[in-house]
Amino acid sequence: MKSTTDRFPVGRRKFFGRTVGFFAAASFSPMCLAQLREATLPSERVQRSLLSLMASRRQYGPNLQRLLLNGCELVLWDLDRKKVYFSAPKSIRRLELSVRDFLRDPSKRQDARHEAGQLQIDGKVMRRSDDRYSLFSVDESNFYVSPEKTLKVDFKAASYEVDVREIALSLANQFIYGGSFRVSKVPDGLAKPNFLNHGALVSMFGEPALERFANLLTAGMQTSEEKAQSLLGFVTDEIEYDEKEFYFGREFLQRSSETLLGRLGDCSNKAILYASLLEQIEQKYAFAYSNNHIFVVLPKGNFVDSTAYGFTFDDRNWVIAETTVKGFRIGRTLLKQEDLIKNIKYTQIPRERNVLYTYPGKRMIMFS
């Protein structure tokens, strides 16, 4: 019998033939599990990682600023001059108290001049407003946040807590499977897929902050099906769907930490986050790609599938876990755009780095 659940639209975006936007990245050299919890980075790299994230126009940028800058705003990071420019709102009465949590020496800041409703500093001019009432610059080396500082992002289901060191390690790609982004080798007679390697951004089992968070989201649950559904419910209901990338035709893949800090993601980033959470509870899963869409599939196990969306590959039966539909119930929820999850072209298991398979047929395609 079909589920009586209402049919919901699937969040979608375009993969093929689109301009691709790249994220900040270092080397792709993931750590082994034994190294993850004790990993460190040089202090300078930690601070530059924070500046890089806060300077981003992605939603995690301003969100991270709110967590770190005590009401101030990073308005410019001048890489050539190695200077950082911050503004402060009129509501901050004692600026020296607000900045001491992120400056080594607050007395070494350079304040802008106020002139004719404008703020002027180092040849740069900004209109003065209540939100940007004062402006100051510091040398890049003067910016400092303790690596042990813990940031807390509150969701309804649980709070995601991550320290500054873990954020920097995430940006350095130490927690992900990694790999190459573009398809390089295609079997004879096959078209070359024109999308990025989403599996490269999936977090391995043992990413400290994500493992803690996954444990909170699944606390008290006994079965793998309960846990997988709980993690999916968090991703569908508490990570807002981002439609901008579909309409503007640019693809930005995010690490799970960035999606959680930004509280926002399209189908790609929701799928990467969900897969990364599944890794933390050691749940088997795979990615499935169709035209313009990516979604997660799980071994059928004890799930009841009343949708007829299930399919077979790798000698087992799988069910759909759609990350863009609020309230999606694995094996029960029906979708309006069924073609997006029925016309599967490729499957991928992120642990098999750089490998993509055609569906059906399981012909191997390589990223490199």
- Tens of each residue's pLDDT in the chain, 368 residues: 322 233 434 443 323 222 223 333 333 445 565 566 667 899 999 999 999 999 999 999 999 999 999 999 999 999 999 999 999 999 999 999 999 999 999 999 999 999 999 999 999 999 999 999 999 999 999 999 999 999 999 999 999 999 999 999 999 999 999 999 999 889 888 999 988 999 999 999 999 999 999 999 999 999 999 999 999 999 999 999 998 765 445 678 999 999 999 999 999 999 999 999 999 999 999 999 998 899 999 999 999 999 989 999 989 999 999 999 999 999 999 999 898 888 999 999 999 999 999 999 899 999 98
Are 184 and 276 within one domain?
yes
Residues 94 and 181 in one domain: no
| Domain around 289 | 19-37+151-367
* The pLDDT of residue 34: 58
Q: Length of the chain in residues, anyone?
A: 368
C-beta of residue 323 within 8 angstroms of C-beta of residue 274: yes
Query: Would strands 264-265 and 240-241 be described as parallel, antiparallel, or unpaired?
Result: parallel
> What pLDDT score was predicted for residue 339?
86
Task: Answer yes or no: is 7 within a domain.
Answer: no
Q: Strand, coil or helix: what is 164? A: helix
In a shared domain, residues 31 and 131: no
Phi/psi at 256 (5° precision): -60, -40
φ, ψ dihedrals at 160, nearest 5°: -90, 115
In a domain, 178, yes or no: yes
**Same domain for 118 and 196?**
no
Helix (H, G, I), strand (E, B) or coil at 125: strand
320 and 200 both lie in a single domain: yes
Question: Does 315 lie in the same domain as 268?
Answer: yes
135: closest CA among 116, 122, 119?
A: 119
Q: Which of 99, 125, 142 is the last residue of a domain?
A: 142
Give me the pLDDT at residue 340, please: 83
2 is a domain residue: no
Other beta carbons within 10 angstroms of residue 306's beta carbon come to 17
Residue 6: its pLDDT value, please? 34
Tally of structural domains, the chain: 2
Q: Please confirm whether the linkage preceding 89 is cis (ω < 30° from 0).
A: no
**pLDDT of 19:** 27
Q: What Cα–Cα distance (Å) separates residue 67 from each residue in 73, 75, 128, 165, 243? A: 11, 16, 24, 15, 25
Predicted pLDDT at 185:
81
Does residue 299 sit in the same domain as residue 268? Answer: yes
Q: Mark whether 59 and 206 lie in a shared domain.
A: no
pLDDT, position 368: 85
pTM: 0.90
Q: 56: closest CA among 171, 147, 157, 161?
A: 171
Residues 222 and 276 placed together within one structural domain of the fold:
yes
Of 97, 122, 142, which residue is a domain's last?
A: 142
116, 142, 168 - which closes a domain: 142
In a domain, 47, yes or no: yes
